[in-house]
Amino acid sequence: MAPLALLFLSFSLLPVVTPASVPLSRNGWTATADSFQVGNEPSKAIDGDSNSIWHTKFNPDDPLPNSITIDMKNSYVVNGVSIQPRQDNVGNGRIGEHRIELSTDGNNWGSAVAVGAYVNDATTKKTTFVAKPARYVRITALTEAQGQNYPWTSAAEINVYGDVKYTSRAGWTVTTDSEEGGNEVSNAIDGNAASIWHTKWTGTVPALPHWIQIDQGAPATVAGLSYLGRTDGNNGNIGEYKIEASDDGSTWKQVASGNWQDNAEEKIASFTARARYFRLNALTEAGGRGQWSSASEINLIDSVSASYQAPAASKGLWTNTVDFPIVAAAAANLPDGKILLWSAFRLNEFGGGSGLTQTVIYDPTTGVSTSRAITNTQHDMFCPGISLDFEGRVVVTGGNNAEKTSIFAPDTNTWIGGPNMKISRGYQSSATGSDGSVFTIGGSWSGGEGGKNGEKYDPSSNTWSLIKNALVAPMLTGDRRGAYRADNHAWLFGWKNRSVFQAGPSKAMNWYNTNGDGSTTGAGNRGDDADSMNGNAVMYDAVAGKILTAGGAPHYQTEQAHANAFVLTLGAPGTNPQVTRAPDMAFARGFANAVVLPDGTVLVTGGQSTVEPFSDATAALTPELYNPRTNSWTQLNPHAIPRTYHSVALLLPDATVLAAGGGLCGGCATNHWDGEIFVPPYLLNADGSRRQRPGITAVAASVKLGATLDITTSGAVASFALVRFGTATHTVNTDQRRIALTPQGGSGNKYTVGVPGDAGVALPGYWFLFAVDGEGTPSVARTVKITV
């Protein structure tokens, strides 16, 4: 068949050439270990045979920890490691808690690039981290995944992943055997993942196989081909494929073949070939849905390895990955500095379950994650509302078990079953109010669609009550799927006099009075913003009533997100806030997370430009920092792992940020069993070393509303800040807010600050207290409880 389309790309239209990640060739590599059983040497972990294993010595045993070190003989830009456990249906030696380190010389290892715990099963574990140059990779097993009585370590296959780069597409022409009008082949190389090439589907549909051909214009050595499936659905995803190379466009030689999974994630076929022409042949449709083929983006991999450039400390650093034994879709700060994380009834999958939630408590200080399946509350807490009450208890409502309430009591480390809500809900939001009650509204994802008016939970009486006049209708978006999506994930803020402000995601804003029968009062539109489902809203200055909103999309899914940002200033309840347009973010984002930092800046991380659940296509890897003082955004160093649908982010006590999770879709390619730690620029010297930090040496554990707080520091400081503990799920964090504190007096290193007296501003409960020096460097936080 004659080619149907032809395109010449001028250089000015090309997207930025970005690195890809591929398994490195293990030819010539060697492996050593601190222990091995004869017949199970460490070389068996890199021999390409999953039936052979490295196993530490047994009879007698060599006690844990055990380590294996791989010498790649050359230096590479390394960004990941995969570990395949033994595949003989025996679990002995599966790695649990672990540490992964890199070295250029085999002697100096520096800080670990990854820590954490792997789940106890036979699936291959992949750990991704921010790329660094290395010749040596060391994996240390600290525990055995099956438990303390198993003192061994084993692995069937270990692969190391490295950065590669795409070739330039300047001067390319592309042709195909079939295309649909509006979905021409040129869309596959236009740098826009939201546009696609699709073979003809109207009229007479040509049968598989189909092909797309690249003419580079001149011969070049290529190390592989990258295929990105469509981002707006799955029809046409390529399954079985073969790749051919040609010098003249007539005589072809096969260089790769295989079968790709049915999803929209980037697939890389690795090979080495020098040719002018390359042809991707689609032999089957991955889901068997029809005689189609499609692609969002196709690239060739450069034979020259990606170069390494150390990230600038002025843009913050992502220090290490934390592997979790669950895919974290929800999280909450706890008073002891730990993080409560949970998924659903399964470790990596939502839906279909009931009465069970998989949880983890992560200790950022030790790196240890403690797993626990919660059954006593009979509540699958996937897709819930979350709020922290005045006692720091985590109140979790609805979700997969849509009527349920579960409460985590941090003082006893126990889960308690609460009363059922009056209205069953999922994807609702909740907010703690100035009277201590928890207000919730919306949530048509589960428990029926529509009519999800407000109700509130009273912790003192342990009861729910409907609020007759707290109406959901005024806060609905215009989502194409109606109430099922239109009442999700409200941006709620507890405010003065038992009021709750709804800032979005609808473009219409509202006030809810939660006293008695309550009331709903319109608060105008959010400037010229559109509906912004799955965007973010953060109260970065509670005393001034300042809220930053950023990103989101008019519809929940299969929609282009926007980069809009606004600053809202709250006044008296019931009055329209002041709305000021802030500069747009550099990246359009939905499904991102936002965290307020001690210095009053707001970190927005993750998300994607085309919102699509369970897809990492169009993921934004570059975080942005909003500075209210300069009313500007700054792009920061990118993280390694997409954080899109079902991701979370929280402030940690040491003023770093944990960004985690994403996916929760069973065996899909977008499950992210991990988190990453971000060190903001305010903690770093120009060379990347840590700044000397101020310290809080003495402060009371609690303070009453309107009272003063005496603080002793290790040296002179300029100011203090309170940041309320946060909770996060589905882009929503209604608990976090910040209060700037100016010292009122004192001598030496002793300071006194005044806590606001309004419970709608200084919302009682647990807060991080930070001291900030004259350079803007925050201390490690002390936990302070604000009481009524």
Preceding omega of 573 cis (within 30 degrees of 0)? no
d(CA 140, CA 98): 5
Query: What would the two tokens of residue 754 be?
Result: 């005044």
Quickly list H helices, 345-402.
Answer: none
Map tokens 């050359």 to a residue: 74
Mark 320-334 as b/e (b = at least 16 C-beta within 10 Å): bbbbbbbbbbbbbbb
Query: What would the two tokens of residue 23 be?
Result: 């398994």
d(CA 471, CA 451): 8
Strand 674-679 with 657-661, pairing: antiparallel
Q: Which helix (H) or strand (E) holds 486?
A: helix 483-486
**765 contact partners, CB below 8 Å, separation of at least 6:** 388, 389, 390, 391, 392, 432, 724, 725, 735, 785, 786
Query: What would the two tokens of residue 339 be?
Result: 């993080």
Is the distance from CB of 491 to CB of 429 less than 8 angstroms? yes
Is the distance from CB of 628 to CB of 565 less than 8 angstroms? no
**112 contact partners, CB below 8 Å, separation of at least 6:** 99, 100, 101, 320
d(CA 550, CA 562): 9
| Other CB atoms within 10 Å distance of the CB of residue 488 | 27
Q: Which helix (H) or strand (E) holds 483?
A: helix 483-486
d(CA 265, CA 376): 38
Strand 590-596 with 565-569, pairing: unpaired
Closest CA to 3 of 161, 157, 211: 211
User: Within 13 Å and on the Cβ side, how many CA atoms surround 612?
Assistant: 23
Is the distance from CB of 727 to CB of 331 less than 8 angstroms? yes
Neighbour-count burial of 310, counting CB atoms closer than 10 A to its CB (0-12 exposed, 13-18 middle, 19+ buried):
exposed
Distances (CA, A) of 692 to 66, 124, 380, 749, 779: 35, 41, 44, 17, 9
Tell me which of 241, 277, 645, 766 is the catalytic residue.
645
**Is 645 considered catalytic here?**
yes
Look up residue 211 and give its DSSP letter: E
Strand 197-198 with 294-295, pairing: antiparallel
Residues designated as active site = 645
